[in-house]
Structure 1
Amino acid sequence: MTPTRRVLFRLLPGAALLGAAAPSAARAQGTAWPSGPVRLIAPFPPGGSVDTILRLLQPHLQRALGTPIVVENRSGASGALGTAALARAAPDGQTFGLVFDTHAVNQFIIPSLGFDARADFAPVMLVGTAPMLIAAHVARPWRSLAEAIAAAKARPDTITYGTVGVGSLAHLTMTLMQKQGGFRLVHVPYRGGGPMSTAAAAGELDLAMATNAGLGGQVGTTLRPLAQTGARRSPNLPDLPTVAESGVPGIDALAWWGMLAPARTPEGIVRRFHAALEEALAVPEVRARLSGPMGIDVVASSPEAFGAFLERQMEIWGQVVRENNIRPE
């Protein structure tokens, strides 16, 4: 994967007028923060789940903070390029970033990452989690995961599956599935959910593996869901069996999205941004969009709970990387 050098900026129309709006509760507390537009880094391309979530939160954060919110897409290297930019940002509360589950494993896969996944960031919030879906293009003959696995056993290393990148949770989970189920697929990594879902919808892949959000609304139209990766069926997809129910035991993997700040960002600013996120996530339309078409269970954790969650994810998936000798492709 070649990190893109293109930086995309998008400012919500009318955001420049917010400076003239009545002071929000945050400004009424008498501090200088925010002192200007707040930048939200999306380490994946437009169209993927990270970008979609930030665009959904953007107007509500603008209202809560009384300042323009700028979403900046800096994609590449399974999210590491944009996350490195976040690590280098000034810890003044003017830059935050929404990371995907790749953040917990990039340090084990990418040489010379350029930042410390633990020390260079301050956790803000675990925004939400979701099961990943394994889906086939509707032109493929498989009606269940068991049928797709049987085809893979009959023709090893011929059936393709796409993910958002090497070391992504989908890649690691499918690695475990192949070991547990005794079959072999061909991994095709992409630079985000947008490019991957586009390729899957066009029939360029046999299977696609991502959250419902990451599959870009294609489930039920161009893509047929075969199984979900959680230990239990998602309430958003009660009729879709789990991987374990489909004959591959021991699989329990949920994708996640979390907000980070640069390390040494003042705790007071982290708390106030966290409160603005809580406010945005409490908007009924936002929750409906996340839980409905995107299939995300909103968590809205405390910074401390997100920090503990990150540690567990790094331990679990770091071990999978080491035991399976996963390297960049």
Structure 2
Amino acid sequence: MTRITRRLALGAAAATLAAPALRAQGTAIRIIVPFAPGGSTDAVARLVAPGLTQRLGAPVVVENRSGAAGAIGTDAVAKARPDGLTWLLTFDSHATLAALLPQLPFNPDRDLDPVMLIGGAPYVLACKPDKPFRSITDVVDAARARPDAVSFGSTGNGTIGHLTMVLLQGRTNTRITHLPYRSGGLAVNDTVAGHTDMMIGSAAVVHPHARSGTLRTFAQFGPQRLPALSDLPTVAEAGLAGLEAEAWWGVFAPHGTPQDAVSRMNAALKESLNEERVRATMQEVQQARLVASSPGELATFLAREVAKWGEVVRANNIRAD
């Protein structure tokens, strides 16, 4: 092959690889977060958006569409054109949608393709500092003394935080009043204001407030203590072995999105998450265990989560708000 012919061939190959990105120039890429602003899912989406804009060659816009435990925003993605311009960045409640809402207008398995499991963070219990709870035992004792009088906030009916508290009540034979919110940020606000006795949320959304002193954490549901919360015992240490729950964030695409577009998004996410600033924020502020999985690894992980938490939803006849 002559030098000129080789240059032409290399140039054609480069143009072919660049074409999808060039077609996206000037066209916004949407990341739909199916929860209100202020929660950890919204924070993760906005954290990676600048890096994605740089790597995908198009502006990346985060759009919040909250409601029905994440089903409203997820439905918008499931029905979007599979052109690589619409993506879903969602929370762990995605695993319970089919069990929670039997009449969903979409099928989570058929209508969405996995892209990446970003990572996870353990659920923690927190309260306003003037509340009396300093351990999971304090909560159990108070709930037994006054059934239904103690309240907790979560990000909504059927979310993993809510289901974890359902399991806790079953294990301890207690009744605790549930106050569902539309995002972790709203649950934090009411807990800080004292409108609910405590809240369950991911360490990602609770830790900044614990660090500033507006909330006090007193139990974590991870398999071991978080380094940043090394003084905070796990519920297993309090005698509730096996009661574990971890929040997680995953990215999905409308079914049929071209594989090369999925691969580009996966690669752009990995590179964005590996930026020093982003990685530090995820680990130190969001308290996340980064995974940055392949699409197939997310599919396998999700199947396990669906089986585990779907059973809790069905066994307790839980429905969305």
TM-score normalized with structure 2 length: 0.91
- Alignment partner, residue 241 of structure 2: 249
Partner Cα distance (1:143, 1:51) in 2: 29
Pair 1:290 & 2:282 matched: yes
Partner Cα distance (1:152, 1:236) in 2: 29
- Alignment partner, residue 30 of structure 1: 18
- Cα gap change, 1:28 to 1:195, in 2 (>3 Å): farther
2:318 to 312, 320, 326: 326
2:205 to 214, 225, 228: 214
- Alignment partner, residue 76 of structure 1: 67
Structure 2, unaligned runs of 5 or more: 1-13
Partner Cα distance (1:253, 1:213) in 2: 13
Partner Cα distance (1:64, 1:47) in 2: 26
After TM superposition, give the deviation of residue 274 of structure 1 in Å.
Answer: 0.5
Identity of aligned residues (%): 45
- Cα gap change, 1:93 to 1:149, in 2 (>3 Å): same
- Alignment partner, residue 229 of structure 1: 221
Q: Per-residue displacement from partner, 1:226-262 (whole Å, max 9, x unpaired)?
A: 1111122223322211111123232111110000000
- Alignment partner, residue 65 of structure 1: 56
After TM superposition, give the deviation of residue 111 of structure 1 in Å.
Answer: 4.1
After TM superposition, give the deviation of residue 214 of structure 1 in Å.
Answer: 2.5
Partner Cα distance (1:328, 1:281) in 2: 32
Contact 1:136 1:223 in 2 (8 A): yes
Contact 1:48 1:193 in 2 (8 A): yes
**What secondary structure sits across from 2:161 in the alignment?**
helix
Q: Which runs of 4+ in 1 moved over 4 A?
A: none
- Alignment partner, residue 140 of structure 2: 149
Q: What's the Cα RMSD here?
A: 1.5
- Alignment partner, residue 107 of structure 1: 98
- Alignment partner, residue 315 of structure 1: 307
Partner Cα distance (2:178, 2:320) in 1: 12
- Alignment partner, residue 274 of structure 1: 266
- Alignment partner, residue 161 of structure 1: 152
Contact 1:47 1:216 in 2 (8 A): no
After TM superposition, give the deviation of residue 213 of structure 1 in Å.
Answer: 2.2
Contact 1:131 1:255 in 2 (8 A): yes
After TM superposition, give the deviation of residue 27 of structure 1 in Å.
Answer: 7.7
**What secondary structure sits across from 1:165 in the alignment?**
coil
Amino acid at match of 1:63: Q
After TM superposition, give the deviation of residue 28 of structure 1 in Å.
Answer: 7.4
Structure 1, unaligned runs of 5 or more: 1-25
TM-score normalized with structure 1 length: 0.89
Contact 2:217 2:232 in 1 (8 A): yes
Deviates more, 1:131-140 or 1:231-240: 231-240
Q: Per-residue displacement from partner, 1:154-200 (whole Å, max 9, x unpaired)?
A: 11111000000000000111111111122210000000111111111
- Alignment partner, residue 11 of structure 2: none
Partner Cα distance (1:216, 1:54) in 2: 18
**What secondary structure sits across from 1:325 in the alignment?**
coil
Pair 1:299 & 2:287 matched: no
- Cα gap change, 1:144 to 1:216, in 2 (>3 Å): closer
| Structure whose alpha-carbon radius of gyration is higher | 2
How many residues of Structure 1 are paired with residues of Structure 2 in the alignment?
304
Q: Per-residue displacement from partner, 1:59-113 (whole Å, max 9, x unpaired)?
A: 1111111211111111111111100000011001001110101111021112421
- Alignment partner, residue 6 of structure 1: none
After TM superposition, give the deviation of residue 216 of structure 1 in Å.
Answer: 7.1
Q: Per-residue displacement from partner, 1:120-175 (whole Å, max 9, x unpaired)?
A: 10100000111001112111112212112111111111100000000000011111
Partner Cα distance (1:328, 1:156) in 2: 23
Q: Per-residue displacement from partner, 1:22-52 (whole Å, max 9, x unpaired)?
A: xxxx987232345221111011111111111
Contact 1:109 1:327 in 2 (8 A): yes
